[in-house]
Structure 1
């Protein structure tokens, strides 16, 4: 239910990213988290700068925590990372307690896959981020480019994936994602067996000149390599 919530929830911080003003790249607007409970339910969290200064050292991506004292509200109209009509705001009053003994079946991540052949219908679709799965077929070197709407150059790496029907798509990883992506290890492992990857938190883009569809992987994007998934 929306409103002030004093209940305690036990959740994993599956994804954790910071969102900065596009016109002032050092100005933090909010931090975002995807939380998952033991049953696999997920919800989007936002933390505004004042609260984030206190909470950012208390919660790490991948950790499991007991949270209490937070605000529940209706989800944002745009850029939802998970399918949930509600979301959470953490405040300076929120309590965070790390769970040391985590149940072995506690989910690590959540996703809602879109088939590659359906991606054209999601060009510039803003309600949800897009999640895809495929086999890695190529990985580019890192390049330096200036993305649309940015005031400075940014790193970029392109990963191409292919699904079971042989449909393929490029995933452009921007910023620190370009350098954090384990390209060398994937290429090495790919010599002996196919490397399956799930990308979550991407946006579908279409190049005006070529009409090519690609995925943009910015701050919300995460990848899961050879996941334990059906």
Structure 2
């Protein structure tokens, strides 16, 4: 019988909504702080967590709890997390391939863990092949990730938001894959404002980027990809090289 005082962590694949989960041991693969749709109000703090099996799950601190526990975890760290509840992920297009979302609050306990055996992966991505992107226009259950070379980027500019009197920032990227096919990606809001455009012009070599949490939609009778959540440009060189050699990417647009 397992030691009740120190229960074994529950694997992500075994977590169910509205059930008792004593503890999970996970790495913080990504974290971000989005705003609510068509609003300047923040929507808490979100995490993509990964366990020893490489499975991922979406976790969230609500905005009301954010001021009290905002700095409890750092990206890349491994933690034993307990005293939380689970629910069905309400997102129409999910960040992780899991029906459950973990909900953290002031009562949740976070314990940093070092020298973890077995090791926990640092990253997990939903990378798609060229021929897998078009069907996403009709039904996209998961946000997708794209990896490639940034060929060009337009400066940030303002566009009106439909049915409102507000303006929002927008930036366009052209990304090229290993087959030299081009993909147009739109960054919106904070992602557009925070994008380091100077780094592209200043670099004398190709800019390799992994762009995550993308939604595919049809625009002007063409299938394009929109970025809606998070941009990651700080991947270790070793990870980038491994992706170059093993992944075929992108959706060709004209």
Q: TM-score, normalised by structure 2?
A: 0.74
Q: Could you tell me whether the CA contact under 8 Å between 1:135 and 1:197 is conserved in 2?
A: yes
1:3-82 matched pairs, under 5 angstroms? 3-26=18-41, 28-76=42-90, 78-82=92-96
The alignment status of 1:131 with 2:140, answered yes or no, reads: no
Q: Could you tell me whether the CA contact under 8 Å between 1:116 and 1:132 is conserved in 2?
A: no
The alignment status of 1:159 with 2:173, answered yes or no, reads: yes
Partners of 2:36 and 2:210 lie apart in 1 by 28
Partners of 2:164 and 2:49 lie apart in 1 by 29
What is the DSSP-based 3-state SS (H/G/I as helix, E as strand, rest coil) of the residue aligned with 2:202? Answer: helix
* Structure 2 residue corresponding to 1:95, chosen from 95, 109, 117: 109
Partners of 1:149 and 1:11 lie apart in 2 by 41
Rg: which structure is higher? 2
Which runs of structure 1 show a deviation greater than 6 angstroms over 4 or more consecutive aligned residues? Answer: none
Q: Which has the higher strand share?
A: 1
User: Aligned Cα RMSD in Å?
Assistant: 2.9
What is the DSSP-based 3-state SS (H/G/I as helix, E as strand, rest coil) of the residue aligned with 1:114? Answer: coil
Partners of 1:62 and 1:75 lie apart in 2 by 23
| Unaligned residue ranges in structure 2 (runs of 5+) | 1-14, 247-254
Q: Determine the structure 2 residue equivalent to 1:204.
A: 216
The alignment status of 1:222 with 2:222, answered yes or no, reads: no
Q: Could you tell me whether the CA contact under 8 Å between 1:13 and 1:35 is conserved in 2?
A: yes
Q: Could you tell me whether the CA contact under 8 Å between 1:14 and 1:62 is conserved in 2?
A: yes
Q: Could you tell me whether the CA contact under 8 Å between 2:140 and 2:216 is conserved in 1?
A: no
Matched length: 224
